[in-house]
Structure formats: structure tokens, C-alpha cells
Structure 1
Amino acid sequence: MSRLIIRKVAVLGAGVMGAQIAAHCANASVPVILFDLPKEGDPNAIAKKAVDGLKKLDPAPLATRDRAQFIEVANYGSDLEKLRDCDLIIEAIAEKMEWKLDLYAKVAPFIRPDAIFASNTSGLSINALDQGLPEAMRDRFCGIHFFNPPRYMALVELIPTARTQPAMLDDLEAWLTTRLGKSIVRAKDTPNFVANRVGVFSILAVMHHTARLGLGFDEVDALTGPLIGRPRSATYRTADVVGLDTLAHVVGTMDATLPDDPWHGYYKSPEWLAGLIAKGALGQKTKGGIFRKEGKVINVLDLASGAYRPSAGEVAPEVLAILKNRNPAEKFAQLRASQHPQAQFLWAIFRDVFHYCAFQLGAIADSARDVDFAMRWGFGWQQGPFETWQAAGWQAIANAIKNDIEAGVAMTNAPLPAWVFDGRTGVHTPDGSWSASDATLKPRSTLPVYQRQLFPERVLGEAAPDAGVTLWENDGVRLWNLPAKDARIGIISFKSKMHAVGDEVLDGVLEAIARAERDLDGLVIWHEAPFAVGANLAQVVEACKAGQFDRLEKTVAKFQQASMALKHSAVPTVAAVQGMALGGGCEFVMHATHRVMALESYVGLVEAGVGLIPAGGGCKEFALRAAGFASRAAGGDVFPFIQNMFQTIAMANVSKSALQAVELGFAKESDDILFNANELLHVALARARAIAESGYQPPLVQRAVQVAGRNGIATCEMMLINMKEGGFISEWDYRVARAAATALCGGEVETNAKVSEQWILDVERALFVDLLKTEKTQQRIVHMLETGKPLRN
């Protein structure tokens, strides 16, 4: 497979999707030109406004605010010549066929013969769009359907036309996978493709059964969220987020283009939905739709009265008990048997989605795997529909669906396909997933890019990847390797809940490093997200209640020992980071030889939130870096470099991306940032090997670190006094932040004094334990454990 090089991208259309696709290209350090219609006065006003808007959105489309500088604004009136410099052009204008075809005619003369042209349509026919292109461009045209928001949603559907070059599509899939971090489903050119076809039908089925059983919208959302493995936004809140007009448009596409579909009669917007749209109540973007927030109260539309009432949807205890059953077969049998309307509702929505997916599989997807991954990646389902069916017992569910069809209680009387009853136990097997169109099991893609994913996401029933060889383990840590990849690079994986760092993890890290120094060439810390959520607070509370502060001090000393062992190990240590790396997890990240980070890494020293300061070497590392910066600066003053670090610790700032983690000082410019988290282990192993092969020598422990001392502490304290008097921080926030300042500045020593690393560690540890002994800090820790939120006492 050739390597696709994309040096510049153009995005046509500066609406919500176009601007955010441009932002994600900029995140990936790919320069992008964002086009829109010319305006009088400033011809680029529309595109400029879109780029400015990116900086205000939450969640942020930009990984750091300065990424906006890589987005150039342009217009179709005077800037089309700029398209000649672009290797990939993505059209992302409104979903109107005639508008898209008009734009294609306008831009086609300016697109290079070797460039890729793609439409980000969510459901229009790619082959019909192809008709608006010159013959010479058609083999490099395809659909490229991003999901909103493009930075965070993994799914991209790639849709070829009858004439799209297969090799070009393979190259584009590889580029999207690694460079933009996307998970790809190859879709057929059918209305709404795979995820929206199934997802929108699922919403329509929910709406149908909501009305049939007389349930409230809030009641349904309580049922169709995390309790059944769906996102917290459930169904009706999701509709509000997507936009009720957008949902109606997608439903309309299905109505207009699928006249022979057995479910065609349901492809209509309910009257209440059409009524909300007519009034301009379109959901989140208009501050109200099905749900509406008034002050702090969330209200929901009540269909019976036509008015809004406080949202208070609850799940009946007997239904909740069924949903908590961990045996899927028993759970579905109980839902079918229950006479409670909520249980009947849940069985009905599952039954009809199973029925729909089985009937439509051959028409909409290459295999059942594509359907399940599309719903996971595009709609946030924990399991796809076929996985859920298979887990619940394939034949039992199939027979139940068949009985309901024959009884006339399913949404249509279309029969299940014959293959459903051929004696199978599911559609996913170690040999592949079922393709209804080809009547065979199909294995995963063999594109070389997927060799970088050592532990890819799998569907239920799929063959498990190589689990590696365990070299040693205790209750907190497993040390293992992958002989087929590199037998002499060890992998440390934490086994604790949320990968919290307690005594068993610390003991395991120290032992693993000792074994690596003796027997291996390098170490990688890797496990699925989160990387680590910090110290095991439950252990801390238990010791505090028992008054075991000597034990706690020894644990902190052990934490410092583990951090220093990571940094000064005789073999290189690489932290492979994804998700949260907080508190002690952040300190491990900071002490590793090198970091390989997924873009979506949220890193921070958050100890202030529980009334503590970093004491696993985090303050020490910041002090070292400040001294290093000062030694290369005019005047050699340390404090200017301490100031931002102090604010980062005192405010418990957490990076909103790996790029921002570098800005905040938790990672280095030389570290690797990957956009596809599934590639972390592959790259981390390679990086550890490369560092080892380069003749690695660990850094020496420093004995003369210049610190800011008393003057630095006093300057930090002045900032804190202003914040306290302004009501921005509490008295206890002040106390905690002053302790952080003391540790960062090297303790109560003379300004610009030189101290050892161990001195700073001792200061950290003493301040940490002093805070632990206080009632207010203990209150903060307990509150965090009980609520998951910081207490500002």
C-alpha cells in the first residue's frame, strides 16, 4: 500500500461540521483552508466568524487555542485558486443535493487530478453526487461522513462510488485512522448509510413505543441511558443535542428514499416534533426543545398538557431490578415476561431494532461487525445490536421475535431472514462476522495500518488478541511482554480499580523496575484508559481514621521512591497515556523517561481538590524544570518560571488534551502525541526500543537545584491574599496553596539557595502529611470519595 501524504486540506463549508472538521485537521498539525460564501465588506467574514466560534465551544474542538492559527479562511468568490495546493478537499455544506452539485461545478476546475475530493454528507447518495463531477475526478471521489463533534466522535463512514479507486480508499482509511485518530466503517451507498440508518430507526422505535405505552419523555430517558448501555443523553436529550430539525431532516431522507422498506410507515416525524420545529424550539441550539432549562430546573415537554413540567423520570423498582441482572439471557426473559409498561417498552425497542438490523443487514453493511462498531463509535452504545442479541442467547431471542411478528405486535410483519434460524449461536465468531450479502463470515480488514493496533476494539465473540506472557505480578501490577513484538521490552499494567495508586501498585512498580533493570531492555506503562486517577483515597481515609500517619508517611516515601525509580531506572521507561492521568498518575507520567500520549489525555496535579499538595515528586519536578529554565535565562531568576507552575498546582488545572499537557509542563515537546489511542502500545514499545538502542543512560540525581526560597513563597502568598480577599478562594484553599508554594520554592530557605532533589522531596512529604492530619483536608477527601466532586470548605 502506498503512503498517502496530505500536506494541506480544504474544507468547503464553515457551518458547525465544516468548521469542526477543519479544527480537528489543525489539531493534527495539518494546515487547512476553510471556505464559505463571500460577504460584502469582508469577503471572508463567514469563515472568520466560524473560526472565532471554535474558541468558545465546549467541549472544545481545538486541542489548544493556538491551533486556530493553522486554519486559513477563504471564500468561493476570489480564493478558489488556493484549492490547487490542497491534497484533500472535504465538502461539508448543507444537505441539499442541488446546492452540492452547484458547488461541485464551481470548484472542480481548481482541483488537482491527484487530489481526493470527498463529501461529508450524512445520508445523500454518493453515486448521485458523483454525477456532478467531471469524468476525470470520479475515481478519486467518495463519501467521508464524520460524526459530531468530529474531534471526540471516533466514527468516520467511508462510502465509495461504483468508480472510486480501491487503492485510494485504502490510503484514505489509513490516513484517517492514524493521522486523525478515526475508527472507520466502510458503508454502502444507501440512505443514511449505517450508523444513522440504525440509530435513527432506533429513535423512531423509541418514539413509537413511548406513545403506544403512554410514557413520559423523561421516563424514557431514564430507561434508555446508562441502564441499557447507552450514553447519559439517552434518546430525547440526544435528539435535543443533535437538533430536532436535523433529526427531522434525516427522517425525511428515509421517508423519501426508502418507499419499499417494510418500516416505511414509521419514517415520519411525530406531530409533536413537527410542532416544536414550527415554533423554533429546535433543542440545545435554541435553548429549548423536548427539554428546556429554566434557571437551575430542567423541564420536559408533557404531551398530555402541551406544557413543560419539571423533569423527574424514574425507573420502577421492579424494572430496575431486572436491568441489574448481569445475565443477559435472564434479563431479556424477565423483560418479556413482565407486565410493567417500562419492561414491555424495553423489550419492544430491543426487539424491533434486532428485527430491523437482521432484515436490513445485507442492504446496509458489509458485515454485522460494521453495524455493531458503527453504533458503538457513532452513537456511544456499549454494545452493538448484534452483540446484545448474541449475548442474550441468539436462538431464544430469534424465536421470541418470530413469535411477536406472527402475533402482530412487532412494528412490521416482515419475516426474519432465513439465515437467523440456520442453527447459529450468533453473528460474530473467532473466524469473522456474518455478511448477509455474501452469505459468509468475513474477517477484519488486513490493511497494514491495523497492524499498529495490538489490542484493537473487538466485538463479542471475536478471537482475542495475544494476551502476552506474564513475567511477574502482584495484587496491583502485572509485568508482562509480547514476545512476538519485543520480548525484552516489559509492560507494566496496573490492576487496581481506575488504576488508582495504592501500596500494592507502588510495590509492584518498584519490583517491576528492579526486574527490568536485571532482565530487560526497557519498560512501558500501559493499560486501557484511564492511565491512573491518583492515590487510592479509600486507603488514605482508612489510615487517617486509624491515626496511622506514620504509615501514611512511609507510603508517601514509597511513592517518591517509585517515581524516582521510574526516572532514574537503568533502562528507559515510557508512559503510554490515555484518558485521565491525575495526581499521582500525573507524577508517574512526569517522571518517565518519555511519554507517548493519546490526544485525549487529561493530565493534572489535582491534589488541591482534596486539600493536599503533590508529594510523589510533582512539586520537585516543577522546581527542577524552573531551575533549568532559569539557568538559561538572563539574570537567572527562578521565580518567573515558578509562577505559572504554582498557579497550575494551586488551581488543580487539568489539561484538556495532550497538546495542552505539554503547555502546562506535564509533558515535553519531544514526547509523542498520537491521535489514535489504539496505536499507543505499538508506538510506546518502539520508542522504548529506540531509546534503549541509542545507548541510554539515566539522568543523574541533582544535588544543587536553585530554588526560589522565601522570597518566592512570599510572592506566591501575596497572590493568594488578593484571591482570598476577593472571595475567589477559601481560608483552607489559602492554606493548601501556600503549602504548594513552599514545596515548589524549595522550602523555607534563602532565595536562590541550592538544595538537592531529596531535600525538595522531604519538604513535599512533610507538608503533605501535615495537611493529612487536619480535619478540613480529611473532610475534602471523604467528600471526594462520596460524591466525586471537590469540597470547598
Structure 2
Amino acid sequence: MERLRIRKVAVLGAGVMGAQIAAHCANADLPVVLFDLPSGEGDRNATVLRALEGLKRLDPAPLAESQRLGWIQPANYDDDLEALRECDLVIEAIAERLDWKQSLYERVAPFLAEGVTLASNTSGLSITALAQALPEAVRRNFCGIHFFNPPRYLPLVELVPHAGSDAARLDALEGWLTTRLGKSVIRAKDTPNFIANRVGVFSILAVMHHTQRLGLGFDEVDALTGPRIGRPKSATYRTADVVGLDTLAHVIGTMQTTLPDDPWHEIFRVPPWLEVLIRQGALGQKSGAGVYRKEKGNILVLDLSAGTYRPAQGEVAPEVEEILALRDVRERFARLRASGHPQAQFLWALFRDVFHYCAFHLATIADSARDVDLAMRWGFGWAMGPFETWQAAGWRDIARSIEEDRAAGLTLANVPLPAWVEGLEGTHSAKGSWSAARSTWVGRSSLAVYRRQLYPDRVLGERFDDPGETLWENEGVRLWRRPDQDQGVGIVSVRTRHHTLGAAVIEGILEAVARAERELDALVLWHEAPFALGADLKQVLEAAQAGRFDQLETMVERFQQASMRLKHAEIPVVAAIEGMALGGGCEFALHAAHRVFALESYVGLVEVGVGLIPAGGGCKELAIQAHRMARRTAGGDVFAFIQPMFEQVAKAKVSRSALEAQAIGYGRVGDDVVMHPKELLYVAIRRARSLAEAGYRPPLPEREVVVAGRNGIATCEMMLVNMREGGFISEHDYRVGKGVATALCGGEVESGARVPVEWLLAVERREFMALLRTPQTLERIAHTLATGKPLRN
């Protein structure tokens, strides 16, 4: 078939999910038409307009850049259906009612363009049943595209065909969803609630059952089912509040209605306490109260025994905490099962029942155990999927324990484990992942799009040959390459924890660039997220407390030299950025010849948080940016461009996306933004090669930079004075802010003076070292290292 071209998208339904799906399409540079019912009064598109206003208030933000809102066109079903003819993809995202969806399809079908892809964002309704309302020409290009909330941030999309779906269209759509929208796609079978919700909602139901059986508090259970067992901070009941208790009840109802023969059907029901909350309008976060509610800044939790709310505590018993801290997973599970403490009994029962359920249903809900595990990681934020966890805990021991508990009447369903369980040591191996439906091991998808993911998410036990070849390394960095991708492009990866930048990293960067200039055509600075969390503060604090300030100043100078070597290397250096690029990480990115960002890149110069200023060339780079922008204006006023830079550095502003990083000057207009983070290295290698092939030449150093000087510093100080007198900043904040202003404005020189780049670097170093000698800054660094939080002293 022809290449799938999607130039414009329509979203039917401006509810919570529909509006956010539209926002994410806009993030991907796609114009969107967002439909809903016409309003009876005033503007006919009032429903959609309210939804668009609501996007501005959501946290986390659905829009990667606020201006993207303008890419979403409001529309209604009465007046604007002709707009569908311009759309190549139409995503339906209305309420989960089969009859409503089918009625809408009948209404819009005459307006769909020939060859359009139509998809439902249903969370669990039958795709086959939905397809029956469509004409044959549309039906073959119809499928389920199930996003997870929030669609910008949760990677999972379940792609669900029906029997008549066009196979080639599905393959092309999977590739498009992956690269253009940055989604991690699982092909799900057309079974109720598909994969992730089927397992995830069962897990929630099991939690609810065992919570009541063992008399545990909701906050106590959330303390147990969060990060301690590799689940998100929102755990179980907080997640239910975020999703919406009415939405959860609806999904449970779908399972109850559509799965009458499921051996676990007895627990597919909404608990009475949840029905009461829904009747009262306590639907969770969206209504201000649910299982939890906030009152005067305090978090309260529903206490079923008292019938009211109480302060949330959520404590884990010391003996259970000790078990969960065990590094040996097999011992951890054995001790949970053997313990008599209700919290340990709860955790064992929860894992046991989820393992049991997944094994029993694997053949009918998924092609392989890999699909189940990745669906739970990508859609529900689990650190490990159920089959991975079972395998890590000892496959045969756990299987034996499940059968023993079943014989004793302890499991939630009295059905034996499938026969295939007995013959395996786990569901993932070097041969692939187990497919119960096919009774064989299956490998990864062979679609071309996955060749762009050089290091895809793996499941426990899965094996990949890594063709990476080390060229040189020290304690701080590794210089290597992927000969299977490009023999002449080197990769520099920082090896420290959180990729902090200490002496070994700085020296490693200098050496790696020198070697690359001699032996390679281009260089990529890449490692998995975070890109870098800034300087090694522990190293800085220890040296400062020991009075080794000369050594520290030399280190700062070497840092600046490393930044300048990245900028002026004889070969192109491409920074591949994902996650946080803070402080020195931002400075390295600023000095690269080119940047390839993952969309979720959070970039900023945040040194003021520990009482310092950027001194790895970051202030110098911003001053040069202001100089260049001022040259294009009639008045040539440098300070007009310095002022917003001062505010963002003095406030330690961090971009909320790669798009925002470009907008505020931490990237450039020509930089690449990759939607799927696993494609980042692939794209960066090719960008580096293209720069090299184009005859890359390093930028000539600026001979002179026009700076804002004393007048600029004074104007910045006026802002600081107002903030200090208003009680918004402390005296030391004022001192740090003035250091930022001094570095950005080029020091105590006349406004409009022309200074060399070396002068700007010297000003940075001087201000940085002066602050480092103050007790307040050392207190801030020590506090941040101890608590992970900033200190305002």
C-alpha cells in the first residue's frame, strides 16, 4: 500500500481523554479538529472551548508548549462535519456506550474522506461490535487505538484490530503511532478491556478485596502498593481517585457484563463503599473528594469503620518493611508468604492472585507474556510486569505455592494453573517470550520502525546482542560506537550516578573530543535519561569544606574548557537529550553543534537553587545569544534580550518540554525533537553523520560581544530589591541574583561595551567562586545533598 500520510486529525469528543489526545497530536505538529455536541446557548462550540480552556489548567500539562493550543480547531457535530473530509485520521473518544458510539459512526461516516483511518479510543468495548455500524469501505480501516491517561506522558497505546481490519494499514499505523506520536504500541486482542485494563483493573479489584478481608486502611494499602513494590507513587486508591471513581466503576461494570464465564467473576463488582461515594458525587480528584480529600492543606483519607475522613498516615510495619528491603527476590516472596502480619499476607495474596489470573488468561488476552508485561509497565507504570516479577521470584516455587493455596481454598478462583506453566522456568528467555496461544516462544516485532530503537525496553530474561564497541574510557565517561549503525560516529556516555559532572567526567570529555577529532567523523553525547543533573555537588562541597578553593577554580576552568571544546571541535558534536538536563548538563547542551531532544526533556540552568550561578559557559552563551539577537533589531538594545534570560536563570526555570526549551533559548529552532525517546540515539547518529557529510566547520569564536554592563546589572538589581523588600527572596538570594546579573551583563563595564569571550568566562568563574566561599551557599549545597530539596537561607 501507499505510505500512510496523516496530515490532519479529527478527535470526536472533547471530554478529558479526547481533549488531551487532541493536545498531544498538536504536540506532534498535527493540526486537529476537536468535535463535541453543539451548545444550546451562545457560541455553538462552547463545549469544546471550555475543554480547551481546561487544558491550560491541567497538571501535568497536556500541551508541550502553550501556543500549541492554537493548532486545535473547535467544532460541533451539527455545523462542522464537512471539516472531516480534510482529516486523514479520525479518533473517536466519546463516553463508553456502545450504542452512542455506533450512532455517532453512522452520523459521521458520509463525511469521511476516502481511505481515512477511523479509530476508537474505547478502553474495553468490542471493536468488532463497533465496526458493525460502519460501511464496508470504512470498516476495513477501522480499529481501536486505546490511549492511557494522561496521553502525553503514559507511553502505552493498545492497537486493537477486528477480523476485517486491513493488516497493512495496521502495520503502517503502528509505525506512525510510534514515531510521530511517540507511543509504545502493543497489539491487543479484541477481548473485554484488552490487556492493560484487564490485568490492571483485576489487580485493583484484588487489592480492594484483600483490603476489606484483612481490615487494612486505604492509606495503609497505598503505602504498601506504591514504590515499595515497584508501582507508581499514586499506588492504588490514589490512582483510582485520579482516574475517577465513576470511570473505575464503569470499567468494572464492563468486566462484570462481558465476562460472565471468567472464574474470577465473583469479584467483578463495585464494592458498596465505592457505590456510596459515587452516589454522593465524590468521584475523586475531579470532584475534590473520593477515597482521599484535601482540607486546609491536609490530606484526609476515608475511614470505612468510622464512616468519615481522617488524616492520612499510611505506615508500613517495621517487620514488613524489613522483608520488602531484601535484595533477594525469592527470599522476599517466601517471607511474605510465611509471615503472619496482615500487611505481608495482603502483599502475598495480591501478587499470588495477579500471577494466577495472568497465567490463566494469557492465551486469550495477549500474543505473548512480553505484551502483558510491557503493557503494565507502559500503561500502569509498574517497574516490572507480572510475569517478570513471577520469574524473578522463582517460577516453580511460586507456581507450587499458588497450587498449594488453591488446594487450601485461599485463592480467589478455584482453577488450576495452565499446563504450560509446569513445563517452563519462566516466560522470558533468550528464545523470546512465551505465547500460550501458539505454544511457542515468539520474538520481537519485525516492523521496520523498531529498527530505529537501538535499545528498546527489555523484559527480564530477554537477551539482546549489544554491538557497542568501546574505543576509550575512564572513570567518568565511555567513548564508544555502534559499528552496525555508523563506524565513523562516536558516542560519549557519562557513567556517573544520575550523570553528574565531576572532575573525571570533565577530563573524560576533553579526552574523548580530542580522540574523536583524530579518529572519527562526528560525535554524539548520549546516555539514557537523565541527560545530566548538573555538577557533582558532593565533590564540590568536600573540596570547599577542606578549603581547596584553588583546586575548585581550576576545576571550573576545566569545565569551561570542556564546554568550549564541545562547541569548537573540528567535528560536529550532537547532544542527544532526554529527561533532565540541568545546570552543567544544560551548559553542555548549549555548546553542542546540534541538539536532538526527546519531547520530554526538562532543561534549565538551576544553579541558584544551591546558591551558585552557571559557570560552565552557560551565562556566556546566553550573553552571546542576546548579542546576536540585538544585532537584528533597530535599536540594538542587548538588555531587552538579557532581561528574560536573567529572570529564567535567577528563578531556576526549567522547561516543561523540548519545545519549551527551544522557545526559551536552551535549544535552537533548527534542533530536532524526537517524539519516541527510544529513537533518540538512532536519530542523533544520523544527524551527526549528515552534519559531517555536509562538510561541517566549527563556528568561529566571537571576537567581541556587546554586553549590557553596569546599567544592565543595575536594572536587574532593581527587580531583586523589590523582591527582597516584598519578602519573596532572602538576602543571600539577592546576592546570588546579583551574581547571575553580573555574569549575564558582562561584569562591571560600560553598557554597550565590547568584550572578548574570555572576559565573559572569567566573570562567570569569579562570581561562582565568590559565592562558593560564602557559608550560606555551603549550607545550601549540604542541605540539598542531604534532603534533595533546596534551602532558602
Q: TM-score, with normalisation over the residues of structure 2?
A: 0.99
Q: Which residue of 2 aligns with 1:26?
A: 26
Distance 1:339 1:184 in 2: 41
Q: Which residue of 2 aligns with 1:478?
A: 478
Q: What code does the residue aligned with 2:141 have? A: R
Distance 2:545 2:269 in 1: 61
Q: Return the offset for 1:540.
A: 1.1
What SS is found at the alignment partner of 2:721? helix
Q: Which residue of 1 aligns with 2:441?
A: 441
Q: Return the offset for 1:404.
A: 0.8
Q: What code does the residue aligned with 2:493 have? A: S
Distance 2:202 2:221 in 1: 16
What SS is found at the alignment partner of 2:697? coil
Q: Which residue of 1 aligns with 2:653?
A: 653
Which has the higher mean CA deviation after the structures are superposed, 579-588 or 436-445? 436-445
Q: Which residue of 2 aligns with 1:51?
A: 52
What SS is found at the alignment partner of 1:90? strand
Q: Which residue of 2 aligns with 1:716?
A: 716
What SS is found at the alignment partner of 1:736? helix
Q: Is the 8 A contact 2:583 2:604 kept in 1?
A: yes
Q: What code does the residue aligned with 2:370 have? A: R
Which has the higher mean CA deviation after the structures are superposed, 719-728 or 343-352? 719-728
Distance 2:292 2:350 in 1: 22
Q: What code does the residue aligned with 1:149 have? A: P
Distance 1:718 1:377 in 2: 48
Distance 2:586 2:406 in 1: 55
Distance 2:178 2:721 in 1: 50
Q: Deviations over 1:159-193 (max 9, x none)?
A: 00110000000111100000000000111111100
Q: Return the offset for 1:304.
A: 1.1
Distance 1:342 1:464 in 2: 38
Distance 1:310 1:53 in 2: 30
Q: Which residue of 2 aligns with 1:179?
A: 180
Q: Which residue of 1 aligns with 2:288?
A: 287
Q: Which residue of 2 aligns with 1:381?
A: 382
Which has the higher mean CA deviation after the structures are superposed, 544-553 or 679-688? 544-553
Distance 1:231 1:282 in 2: 21
Q: Deviations over 1:368-423 (max 9, x none)?
A: 0110000000000000000000111111111111111111111111110000001x
Q: Is the 8 A contact 2:454 2:678 kept in 1?
A: yes
Q: What code does the residue aligned with 1:482 have? A: R
Q: Which residue of 2 aligns with 1:604?
A: 604
> Kindly tell me: are residues 504 and 2 of structure 1, through their superposed partners in 2, closer, same or farther at Cα, counting changes over 3 Å?
farther
Q: Return the offset for 1:467.
A: 4.6
Q: Is the 8 A contact 1:2 1:171 kept in 2?
A: no
What SS is found at the alignment partner of 1:665? coil
Q: Return the offset for 1:102.
A: 1.1
Q: Is the 8 A contact 1:291 1:299 kept in 2?
A: yes
Q: Which residue of 2 aligns with 1:488?
A: 488
Distance 1:271 1:704 in 2: 74
Q: What code does the residue aligned with 1:310 have? A: P
Which has the higher mean CA deviation after the structures are superposed, 289-298 or 119-128? 289-298
Q: Is the 8 A contact 1:23 1:68 kept in 2?
A: yes
Q: Which residue of 2 aligns with 1:542?
A: 542
Q: Deviations over 1:714-733 (max 9, x none)?
A: 11112222222222222211
Distance 2:788 2:367 in 1: 43
Q: Is the 8 A contact 2:596 2:680 kept in 1?
A: yes
Q: Which residue of 1 aligns with 2:516?
A: 516
Q: Return the offset for 1:471.
A: 0.7
Q: Which residue of 2 aligns with 1:235?
A: 236
The yes-or-no answer on 1:640 pairing with 2:640 is yes
What SS is found at the alignment partner of 2:484? helix
Alignment of 1:675-754 (within 5 A): 675-754=675-754
Q: Which residue of 1 aligns with 2:768?
A: 768
What SS is found at the alignment partner of 1:776? helix
Distance 2:721 2:737 in 1: 11
Q: Which residue of 1 aligns with 2:326?
A: 325
Q: Is the 8 A contact 1:454 1:465 kept in 2?
A: no
Q: Is the 8 A contact 2:467 2:484 kept in 1?
A: no
Distance 1:656 1:467 in 2: 34
What SS is found at the alignment partner of 2:597? strand
Distance 1:636 1:298 in 2: 53
- 5+ residue gaps, structure 2: none
What SS is found at the alignment partner of 1:784? helix
What SS is found at the alignment partner of 1:479? strand
Distance 1:668 1:85 in 2: 32
Q: Is the 8 A contact 1:455 1:465 kept in 2?
A: no
What SS is found at the alignment partner of 2:485? helix
Q: Deviations over 1:672-703 (max 9, x none)?
A: 00110000000000011110111111112222
Q: Which residue of 2 aligns with 1:670?
A: 670
Q: Which residue of 2 aligns with 1:108?
A: 109
Q: Is the 8 A contact 2:12 2:90 kept in 1?
A: yes
Q: What code does the residue aligned with 1:580 have? A: M
Q: Which residue of 2 aligns with 1:452?
A: 452
Q: Which residue of 2 aligns with 1:556?
A: 556
Distance 1:722 1:640 in 2: 19
Q: TM-score, with normalisation over the residues of structure 1?
A: 0.99
Distance 2:115 2:272 in 1: 49
Q: Deviations over 1:345-389 (max 9, x none)?
A: 111100000000000001111110110000000000000000000
Which has the higher mean CA deviation after the structures are superposed, 37-46 or 654-663? 37-46
Distance 1:785 1:737 in 2: 22
Q: Which residue of 2 aligns with 1:129?
A: 130
Q: Which residue of 1 aligns with 2:72?
A: 71
Q: Deviations over 1:462-500 (max 9, x none)?
A: 112415011111111111111111121111111101000
Q: What code does the residue aligned with 1:295 have? A: K
What SS is found at the alignment partner of 2:57? coil
Q: Which residue of 2 aligns with 1:199?
A: 200
Distance 2:734 2:256 in 1: 62
Q: Return the offset for 1:303.
A: 1.3
What SS is found at the alignment partner of 1:445? coil
Q: Percent identity?
A: 67
Q: Is the 8 A contact 2:556 2:765 kept in 1?
A: yes
Q: Return the offset for 1:150.
A: 0.5
What SS is found at the alignment partner of 1:523? strand
Q: Return the offset for 1:239.
A: 0.7
The yes-or-no answer on 1:504 pairing with 2:501 is no
Distance 2:606 2:464 in 1: 36
Q: Return the offset for 1:295.
A: 1.3
Distance 1:409 1:714 in 2: 74
Distance 2:414 2:450 in 1: 41
What SS is found at the alignment partner of 1:313? coil
| Coordinate RMSD, CA, aligned | 0.9
Q: Is the 8 A contact 1:604 1:655 kept in 2?
A: yes
Which has the higher mean CA deviation after the structures are superposed, 426-435 or 588-597? 426-435
Q: Deviations over 1:74-115 (max 9, x none)?
A: 000010001000000000000011111111111000001200
Q: Return the offset for 1:330.
A: 1.2
Which has the higher mean CA deviation after the structures are superposed, 572-581 or 625-634? 625-634
Distance 2:636 2:312 in 1: 60
Q: What code does the residue aligned with 1:491 have? A: I
Q: Is the 8 A contact 2:583 2:605 kept in 1?
A: yes
Q: Is the 8 A contact 1:97 1:124 kept in 2?
A: yes
What SS is found at the alignment partner of 1:219? helix
Q: What code does the residue aligned with 2:659 have? A: L
Which has the higher mean CA deviation after the structures are superposed, 355-364 or 131-140? 131-140
Q: What code does the residue aligned with 1:71 have? A: I
Which has the higher mean CA deviation after the structures are superposed, 139-148 or 334-343? 334-343
Distance 2:518 2:488 in 1: 11
> Kindly tell me: are residues 204 and 654 of structure 1, through their superposed partners in 2, closer, same or farther at Cα, counting changes over 3 Å?
same
Q: Is the 8 A contact 1:532 1:584 kept in 2?
A: yes
Q: Return the offset for 1:327.
A: 1.2
Q: Is the 8 A contact 1:469 1:480 kept in 2?
A: yes
Q: Is the 8 A contact 1:220 1:313 kept in 2?
A: yes
Q: Return the offset for 1:3.
A: 2.6
What SS is found at the alignment partner of 1:484? coil
Q: Which residue of 1 aligns with 2:251?
A: 250
Q: Is the 8 A contact 2:467 2:483 kept in 1?
A: no
Q: What code does the residue aligned with 1:128 have? A: A
Q: Which residue of 2 aligns with 1:392?
A: 393
